[in-house]
Amino acid sequence: MTIKTPVLDLENVSFSYDRKPVLEDINFGIEPGEFVGLVGPNGSGKTTLIKIILGLLKANHGEVRLFGQPLSKFKKLSWIGYVSQKSNSFNSGFPATVFEVVSMGLYSQMKFYKWFGKKERLKVWEALEKVGMEDYAKQNIGRLSGGQQQRVFIARALVRNPKLLILDEPTVGVDAKSENAFYDLIESMHKEKLAILLVSHDIGTITSKVDKVLCLNKRLHYHGDPKQFEMNRQEILTDAYGQHFELLEHHH
Ligand SMILES: Nc1ncnc2c1ncn2[C@@H]1O[C@H](COP(=O)(O)OP(=O)(O)OP(=O)(O)O)[C@@H](O)[C@H]1O
């Protein structure tokens, strides 16, 4: 049996902005093609954890490895696709077309002497097709709905052909129909063996979709199989969210 190198693995990671610890002794891994859901109350450290994985913040203790390499040595940035929490909030005056926004996902990868050519254009069309937004290519991004904008930002992350896609709260502010379409899209990417880390407040939906659940509030209160999570849901959530988690679950 061959042992696959995890896409991501964290070992004893701790972090604080000031004196108060925000993350304590975090350990988990993501295998190739695995779909992992990260849940936790407001202020529990989810975004901080993502920033550490992306190298935007440095852990005070512990180690983060991407594809088996320490974060500081990892150079294949195009292997990681990221869609932030605030992606789908362009105002109607933003002067870029859908095609241009997706193209931006490729620029950072290109050498300065290289033109944006036929090959690059084809990659952009392919990414737009994957998210079902090819008919909107010439439209101004600011004129699209939140759900449509979100698909465009996923296309921008996919255009680099990543091996790990990180999505921070992608369904906040989109309607129920867009939310269903979003999960269908994620499901199809999961089938194509893309590893996915999805941050969400929507515990009920997440546990029915993912291979693994992480429940965070400063430390990991749960880490593993979603069925086990569902069986012990009350206990885990009370532990992580406190007594009033029912209210918090429907916060957004
Ligand atoms: N730049 C910063 N400086 C100091 N403290 C910060 C900073 N950013 C976040 N924090 C604090 O760190 C803690 C974790 O915040 P973080 O944004 O990671 O949580 P979150 O789980 O993503 O929250 P939410 O679900 O509300 O987005 C919070 O107490 C927050 O106030």
Give the whole-angstrom CA distance, residue 157 versus residue 143.
Answer: 20
The predicted model scores a pTM of 0.90
- Out of 64-73, 112-121, 160-169, least confident range: 112-121
Q: Is the CB of 16 under 6 A from ligand 1?
A: no
Contacts of 19 (CB under 8 A, 6+ apart): none
Pocket test for ligand 1, best of 46, 53, 251 (most atoms within 8 A of CB): 46
Closest residue by CA, ligand 1 atom 24: 42
Quote the ligand 1 centre to 42 CA distance (angstroms): 8
The CATH fold assigned to 8-90+162-249 is Rossmann fold (3.40.50)
Quote the ligand 1 centre to 149 CA distance (angstroms): 25
Q: What is the pLDDT of residues 122-153, one digit of tens each?
A: 999 999 999 999 999 999 998 888 888 889 99
Residue 148 gets the label, from left (phi > 0), alpha (psi -120 to 50) or beta, of: alpha
Q: What is the pLDDT of residues 62-77, one digit of tens each?
A: 999 999 999 999 988 8
Give the whole-angstrom CA distance, residue 163 versus residue 21.
Answer: 31
Give the whole-angstrom CA distance, residue 203 versus residue 128.
Answer: 29
ipTM of the shown complex: 0.97
- Out of 84-88, 179-183, 223-227, least confident range: 84-88
